[in-house]
Structure 1
C-alpha cells in the first residue's frame, strides 16, 4: 500500500513539473487517500498485535 502511495506521489510531482495540473491534482489526491488507508491499517495491525501478545 505504501508502495502505491509513493508511485502516485512521484506521478503527481512529475506531472506538476511538466505542467499537467489536472493529472497532478488527481494523482496527489489518490496518494493522500492511499496514505490514510495505509495509516489506518497500520494502526489496526499494531493494536491487534498488542492485544494478542
Structure 2
C-alpha cells in the first residue's frame, strides 16, 4: 500500500442473533477451506 492512503474506521455492524449464527457458520466453512485466515491486528480490517 502507498503511504498516502489511510484506513477508514467504521463502527461495528450488529446482526440479529439468527443471522449472527449463520455468519459464524459460513466463516467457519471459509476458514476450513483455506479461503480466509485469521489475523491479529490490521488497520485495514472491516468490522464484521
The normalised TM-score by structure 1 is: 0.40
Return the structure number with greater helix share. 1
Structure with larger RCO (C-alpha < 8 A, sep 6+): 2
The normalised TM-score by structure 2 is: 0.44
